[in-house]
Structure 1
């Protein structure tokens, strides 16, 4: 039996079990079932500087616990997004490495200098870079999704929300776990182990490790042997370079190793410390899991543009016969010709193959002091990450456009927070936060047959242009909140965070091949010393008329500092009067602001068997940070959108029906309108005046359009989920568990520049799992299926480099569209042993 037959049989078996067992279970009302009420356990998270029940916190929260993550084999933030309707995470090949979106508010992944509008907090520490998604989720206690601005308690930059991840600590009893899993479609082998030892009654140690090896991938690679012809700028001699096909027929093959050591001690009743050291090594066989899905310029045939920067009307599309353009989980990713890769360390990081390697080291210390009547918490962290990647960016099967990159990021941060515990109605929180960062960026790009035998540095012989950039950042922030218990049931809180941040940056393209000096500027150093100051207030009124009901209304503001786009491109086409400094506005960007209101109701009904949460919100954003790729000229432009807003509401429920022990139903329904209110934006590649690309522009500017009133990307009007979980004893001392989760999204845009082809229709996905083990929980065998209906949908869309042209003219032609599809159907077999 081959793996595809095994996958089909596993799907068939899983579906028979689910549809034969779960629907009758939902109808059972037998008196033989225990009539005892299974009250829902209260979920505790840290959203306001201290641990509180989700039911009591006046914040819109979706919490995903360890048990739920295990049922659906959630091992990454991307897996979390796959089960949470209003969260979308898109992996990016270049730039920051990811785009994280909540309620249709996100930051582009294409700029390494733009930090995420959705802040990721790992064990109380803010991780600025999008590549934090490569850290993986293993031995995690909980992931909390906090929606809307969270400026007061979460370091900085949480204008759209927060993903708060809490890993497990050592316990008071010995624990150990080993797990092995195998996924059929991607041929992924995964192993995980944990041991937690209480050395004494006051000190414990916990070690967790996880490793994966993927022998395939979810996108077929159609690239085959090709050639690459270079033209020497010094001699005009042409050379043909053979290029074998890729070594892997599917991508992105994944390989990872993770480890975390935790030590926790309680020397006294008034002092607790927790020390965590972690390591991550994540590799994939290409920089991105993308494919061409729409090619409108030539009616479905991919194309390449013939560029003449001095005569925009001359650009005409020509067929690219080495690519297909069908949304079908098939793409073409070529390696680099071996003799060319051997000349450049950045391009030969993986031999001559493509790939990405992310390595990080982190040490975190948390120190809790009970200094009655004040609790003091201090968190100190040092984090270093290194990323190397080599990518194919032409979108087709020809050997054409490649880049190699090396970047590092260092982050040191510390936070000290004091919370008073006075007996009288007024208490306070006071905190201070400090962060010091350093980013280094280096990239080499080859395309269009560039060669120069006259270079003094042989590593640049085949480079079209290279880039270096650095940013040093420092942040000092103080915050405080007053908590007034007006009565035992009514509480008013008001707080403010003040932030002072500096960023000192430079960017330079030291070398440009002589053939391209008319497009890319060589040798000029762009510099920016930026300072940002902000005060963000927040106020919340919370009323608890009963122990099981919480109502709240809040006013919030948020701030994300501006910065410098280290990964941009210095194009001669954007300078004015031959002055290279006039390109600086394409690199620097202003802060992002948000303010608005939200309110909600949280209730425990039916004797605690039904939890309901409802919230409504209205937020206005100013100067959203946007990165735009001008594909015909290979130029990035970082801008601020004038204004945007989000309006909506969300309902969540968890119900354990009293008539049936072991059954839990969950669901959510979200309504969201996220639109630009004012944005003079770049036109998408090939956009015509008749299509809205008709605004007057200044010399050096790209054609512009007004996006006011247009829907933002990744903002479906409706999104939701429905889940069923059932667990029951069977036989003599055994348990069987069944879980399903359906998630849906309605039609929405994939890109933010009004391209009519960047639209994803409504779709739904189905995940399910079947588990069998002993009642003591010592062992469990599970079959876990994701996207069981094999639904194809896209998470993102972008312009294929070098395609599209004549933007702003009547004869414009649209760039070929590439995007990131969701992962197709997967079936994983998993065995877990615990002691």
Structure 2
């Protein structure tokens, strides 16, 4: 159990809570107040700008469900990355993996969770117009972000890459021609600090540039009792340079270069249910296990006992050039981009410090399992678009898109030898057949025990064997797309769009045993199952969108749309690739979405509501396979699923100083039809219709308040408070007979965050006191498996920090 908080911590909690009460639990940035003074009486909220439809529009003009987090909201949240910000968008959930490559976003309960390197995400992530090949590339630190737009439902007639569930569109800040800069640093408990510096200005009359650098380091919040060190921390640094060239009013060229490095000892799985692997350890959970079908999860667990450090090393580099040229009534856009991502993971897989030392066979003795995997992604993309100028009744965006991604991964597992099913005899027979002949071979096969003993070969927990898999994939995607509107009258317009997609995916997989005798191990297949496989798939798709939009007047609008989504084919290419099962193509995932919405915007109030239903055929998900006696999950077309519900979000300028922002999503994401794995025996698999899709809480909502107090002295006060609630959710699919593992049910939770800031000299200098999780509510974001492993994040406990920001 965690120690009680200090008197100082409780005093700070009381001070912040009191401040919230006195200020109606709110906060508004000084920048917002300055903007308000400059705006006229009609455009405070009506001109919230988004580019989700590839043109600059007000949020209330866009006929689709889109959530927007602007730079003020992002700064007020004091969140480092998408993991921290996703809680502010009720329709989005985050699946935390042991590395960034294994983490994923879900929108309206739909997302792709897979270890395969030959599968695409259901939720596309776009940064400055560039589609990322893997969602994990966006889970790095967010810095210098202008806004984040979350488009819910299928997308494809507007974005370069198709998506079956949604798009997260991230836009960074442009440089200014006025020379400006800022320095910001923050410090938190447990020796965490972050630094960011920005300088921007004009180099010539038509060339502006900006440079952003950041550095962050954190010792961690998990105690490893094996070596008395902290884990689940990070050490990160990065830089982004932007050049904007505008030689004339009709030409804009923007070049972006970005570099990012991270060395994170993250993310160790916590034993929150008793595993029995080391009952004498100081890190055993305070739990009774599963009682009467309910998991007694120790959410206060903050200790591990690991002799191998889980660690992730990331290296990113990115370059892009965007050219916008206006000729007559049309704007032509070209976006050329190249990105590289190197990701290396070190994984503790036995989750104890006493494994692999015994000369007894497993599983009577604790087994060792350690992983090392390095992967490199290189992607190139090119997009061309033409956009009409909104001058007449018919307007459109049309484009061509090409995307290529190459990936290589090497994965080595070192584990205790396994002989609980006579595997040693099979290994030694294989070894004899490859090393002996004639009478020697006959004698060895006749008496394998004698032959094994003559070589001094055993197969116990302290006999460490290994195998390495060498994998590669290549994706090629090209598409033509168009989206348009036609005004039937001043208030009524037709919405339509179409997309043609051509997808190709290919893979190679070669696994070899590194053991001289070809022995099998825990998670290490024997030399008899070495593989050298390759395969490819090609699919085409035509998808579209059709709808109506009607302006009711007085800032009100209603719309209704039908849209189709698509995600390309794939293969289950991972370490323990099995040619018999995993060489089969995973068919594309296709979706049909229906949505009706209402939007209202005035100077003081913005209100958006959407009712939706999406039906997905060929849902790509990790499916249970217990065909060989050991249950594993493999990526398959698990079946058909649907998600339906209602979403509401609003912004309200209650007074000149108080702004309230909130959202709520009620979503039911369910399995409609389940495809039993071909390997599962008849009668061993039942229908799962009506059961929940993983990471799809039925209810999620958030409410934040911003309050700005202008004093007569030389400082002003900024107060922020936010509350986020997430309903209980399953973190895994039900098994083959339609039963959920009780350990996979994650309890609901609600988090209260707050900050109080003082600004001086027209906000040239600001100091803020930050409180995370004021009520000290602990929760888990992911059940990782084995009936005991969980991910419990940093924000699942109360902690405090202070931030300093200076602008010039």
Task: Indicate yes or no: 2:780 matched with 1:794.
Answer: yes
Task: Indicate yes or no: 2:98 matched with 1:93.
Answer: yes
After superposition, residues 212-611 of structure 1 pair within 5 angstroms as 212-215=216-219, 217-222=220-225, 224=226, 245=227, 249-286=229-266, 288-294=267-273, 301-303=274-276, 324-325=284-285, 326-332=298-304, 334-336=306-308, 353-399=309-355, 400-421=368-389, 423-449=391-417, 462-511=464-513, 513=515, 514-516=518-520, 519-520=525-526, 522-571=529-578, 581-585=579-583, 588-605=585-602, 608-611=603-606
Q: Say if 1:570 and 1:635, in contact at 8 Å, map to a contact too.
A: no
Aligned-partner Cα distance in 2 for 1:477–1:177 = 41
- Picking from 184, 194, 198, the partner of 2:198 is 194
- Picking from 790, 793, 796, the partner of 1:818 is 790
Change (3 A) 1:621 1:127: same
Q: Say if 1:303 and 1:816, in contact at 8 Å, map to a contact too.
A: no
Aligned-partner Cα distance in 1 for 2:569–2:101 = 15
Q: Say if 1:622 and 1:641, in contact at 8 Å, map to a contact too.
A: no
State the Cα distance separating 1:430 from its structure 2 match: 1.5
Task: Indicate yes or no: 2:751 matched with 1:746.
Answer: no
After superposition, residues 29-68 of structure 1 pair within 5 angstroms as 39-40=44-45, 42-68=47-73
Q: Say if 2:751 and 2:774, in contact at 8 Å, map to a contact too.
A: yes
Residue aligning to 2:117: 112
Aligned-partner Cα distance in 1 for 2:491–2:320 = 37
The TM-score normalised by the length of structure 1 is: 0.81
Q: Say if 2:265 and 2:310, in contact at 8 Å, map to a contact too.
A: yes
Aligned-partner Cα distance in 2 for 1:12–1:290 = 33
Q: In structure 1, the residue corresponding to 2:763 is in which secondary structure?
A: coil
Change (3 A) 1:333 1:552: farther
Q: Deviations over 1:240-272 (max 9, x none)?
A: xxxxx3xx6322111100100000011112110
How many residue pairs get aligned? The number is: 720
State the Cα distance separating 1:737 from its structure 2 match: 0.9
Q: In structure 1, the residue corresponding to 2:582 is in which secondary structure?
A: helix
Q: Deviations over 1:578-607 (max 9, x none)?
A: xxx42334x6422111102101011025xx
- Picking from 658, 680, 691, the partner of 1:710 is 691
Change (3 A) 1:505 1:563: same
Residue aligning to 2:446: none
State the Cα distance separating 1:488 from its structure 2 match: 2.0
Residue aligning to 1:640: 637
Q: In structure 2, the residue corresponding to 1:82 is in which secondary structure?
A: helix
State the Cα distance separating 1:319 from its structure 2 match: 7.2
Change (3 A) 1:534 1:510: same
Q: Say if 2:625 and 2:679, in contact at 8 Å, map to a contact too.
A: no
Q: Say if 1:569 and 1:635, in contact at 8 Å, map to a contact too.
A: no
Aligned-partner Cα distance in 2 for 1:553–1:57 = 12
Aligned-partner Cα distance in 2 for 1:59–1:17 = 38
- Picking from 160, 175, 185, the partner of 1:180 is 185
Q: Deviations over 1:696-742 (max 9, x none)?
A: x6578995343211011121222111111100112323210111111
Change (3 A) 1:783 1:322: closer
Q: Deviations over 1:127-166 (max 9, x none)?
A: 0213213432101101111111112122224211111110
State the Cα distance separating 1:283 from its structure 2 match: 1.7
Q: Say if 2:708 and 2:718, in contact at 8 Å, map to a contact too.
A: yes
Aligned-partner Cα distance in 1 for 2:682–2:633 = 12
State the Cα distance separating 1:532 from its structure 2 match: 1.4
Aligned-partner Cα distance in 1 for 2:783–2:27 = 42
Structure 2 unaligned regions, length at least 5: 29-36, 286-297, 356-367, 419-423, 436-462, 735-739
Q: Say if 2:46 and 2:58, in contact at 8 Å, map to a contact too.
A: no
Q: Say if 2:525 and 2:576, in contact at 8 Å, map to a contact too.
A: no
Residue aligning to 2:163: 158
State the Cα distance separating 1:621 from its structure 2 match: 0.6
Q: Deviations over 1:385-410 (max 9, x none)?
A: 10112110223343321100110000
State the Cα distance separating 1:219 from its structure 2 match: 2.6
Aligned-partner Cα distance in 1 for 2:155–2:576 = 33
State the Cα distance separating 1:9 from its structure 2 match: 3.6
Aligned-partner Cα distance in 1 for 2:502–2:43 = 50
Residue aligning to 1:132: 137
State the Cα distance separating 1:490 from its structure 2 match: 1.4
Change (3 A) 1:463 1:416: farther
Aligned-partner Cα distance in 2 for 1:568–1:25 = 49
Q: Say if 1:275 and 1:363, in contact at 8 Å, map to a contact too.
A: yes
State the Cα distance separating 1:422 from its structure 2 match: 7.0
State the Cα distance separating 1:487 from its structure 2 match: 1.5
Task: Indicate yes or no: 2:17 matched with 1:10.
Answer: no
Residue aligning to 2:664: 669
State the Cα distance separating 1:110 from its structure 2 match: 3.0
Range 505-514 or range 91-100, more displaced: 91-100
Q: In structure 2, the residue corresponding to 1:712 is in which secondary structure?
A: coil
